[in-house]
């Protein structure tokens, strides 16, 4: 299945159905009076986050979505039926943006979350609605209100606990393949990974999700290489795993290049928890490992782990470190949720 994380679609809710003009006509009943029913309400446009999807490829082949209009009102005071909703099923993590691609209309982060994007138009009144003591036989009716329509953008930001960062050929895909059942493309040339990949990782008895995105290069925020388009997929992560290729000459430059691109991109990525790892140490001597690890520690100003994804050396230690940061982040979120609930329940009367 092809990966698509951004698309533009047209939405239109259903028009309301017109009311009916009808008069009661039954044997032995004189002056039956008006009995035209109201029109039905038009269908809504609803977006729903479902499980089992990780791409927006379905919206590449269909860009227009219209809900059904409401049914016509009928005689004998029968109202028209409600129009059928247009339901858009999208992966968890999908954002709905306005046509300017900046204003966020909806953000679906949980399975089963449903949001009404456009409401259907109300149905028109039948002539029974217009009956008064002075107007006993009205012939007027409502045509029904039109629905809403607009162009929107769908943008997918994958939901993952940890995100993989690094220059091209830093060993990100090799690491993901070593610790999960994901099978990303692995080769000895840059930009092997062209689309994000997700992998479920098990550390001890616990599991978490890692997202691997295409490698960044210097000037990515200006569009060089594959640009920073895929950085949005690690915005929601709790911790970043920054892999630095230990076989290259200047590991400090490699680290600073990625950090600079994160700062230029924004989105709070530069402030996230980060685990720095010197990768591919199986190709280095003990002296080279210690020398490059020391240099990398000076630039990162934090502890540096060593690992080889290909040789499965130091991998488990990295996984447990990531899991520790993830559990700490989850605990903070739970505390914040409890505090918010407490404040909402026991808000002072003065407020």
Q: What is the mean pLDDT of the chain?
A: 89
pTM of the model: 0.80
The CATH homologous superfamily of the domain defined by 162-337: P-loop containing nucleotide triphosphate hydrolases (3.40.50.300)
Q: Give me the CATH code for the 1-156 domain, please.
A: 2.70.210.12
Cβ-in-10-Å burial (0-12, 13-18, 19+) of 100 comes to exposed
Domain segments of the chain as ranges: 1-156, 162-337
- Regions of the chain where pLDDT drops below 50: 1, 351
What is the Cα–Cα distance from 63 to 327, expressed in whole angstroms? 40
pLDDT at 70 (0 to 100):
96
Cα 274–chain centre separation: 23
pLDDT at 347 (0 to 100):
65
pLDDT at 21 (0 to 100):
95
pLDDT at 348 (0 to 100):
62
- Give tens-digit pLDDT for 304-339: 999 998 888 999 999 999 999 999 988 888 888 788
pLDDT at 45 (0 to 100):
97
- Do the domains at 1-156 and 162-337 have one common CATH topology? no
pLDDT at 349 (0 to 100):
55
């Amino acid at each position: 299945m092809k990966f698509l994380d951004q698309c533009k679609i047209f939405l239109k809710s259903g028009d309301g159905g017109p009311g009916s003009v009808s008069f009661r006509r039954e044997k032995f009943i004189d002056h039956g009076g008006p009995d035209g029913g109201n029109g039905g309400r038009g269908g809504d446009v609803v977006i729903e986050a479902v499980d089992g999807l990780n791409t927006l490829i379905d919206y590449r082949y269909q860009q227009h979505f219209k809900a059904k209009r409401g049914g016509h009102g009928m005689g004998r005071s029968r109202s028209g039926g409600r129009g059928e909703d247009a339901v858009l099923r999208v992966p968890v993590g999908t954002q709905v943006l306005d046509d300017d691609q900046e204003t966020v209309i909806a953000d679906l982060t949980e399975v089963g979350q449903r949001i009404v994007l456009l409401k259907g138009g109300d149905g028109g009144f039948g002539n029974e609605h217009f009956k008064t003591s002075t107007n006993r036989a009205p012939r007027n009716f409502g045509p029904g209100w039109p629905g809403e329509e607009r162009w929107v953008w769908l943008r997918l930001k994958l939901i993952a606990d940890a995100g993989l960062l690094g220059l091209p050929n830093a060993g990100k895909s090799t690491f993901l393949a070593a610790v999960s059942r994901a099978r990303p493309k692995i080769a000895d040339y840059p930009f092997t990974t062209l689309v994000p990949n997700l992998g479920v990782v098990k550390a001890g008895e616990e599991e978490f999700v890692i997202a691997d995105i295409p490698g960044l290069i210097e000037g990515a925020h200006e569009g060089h290489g594959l640009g920073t388009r895929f950085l949005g997929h690690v915005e929601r992560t709790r911790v970043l795993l920054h892999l630095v290729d230990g076989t290259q000459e200047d590991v400090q430059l490699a680290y600073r290049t990625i950090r600079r691109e994160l700062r230029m991109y924004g989105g709070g990525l530069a402030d996230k928890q980060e685990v720095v790892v010197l990768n591919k140490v199986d190709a280095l001597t003990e002296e080279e490992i210690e020398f490059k690890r020391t240099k990398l520690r000076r630039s990162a100003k934090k502890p540096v782990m060593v690992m080889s994804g290909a040789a499965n050396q130091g991998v488990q230690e990295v996984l447990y470190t990531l899991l520790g940061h993830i559990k700490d982040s989850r605990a903070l979120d739970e505390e914040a949720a409890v505090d918010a609930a407490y404040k909402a329940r026991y808000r002072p009367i003065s407020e």
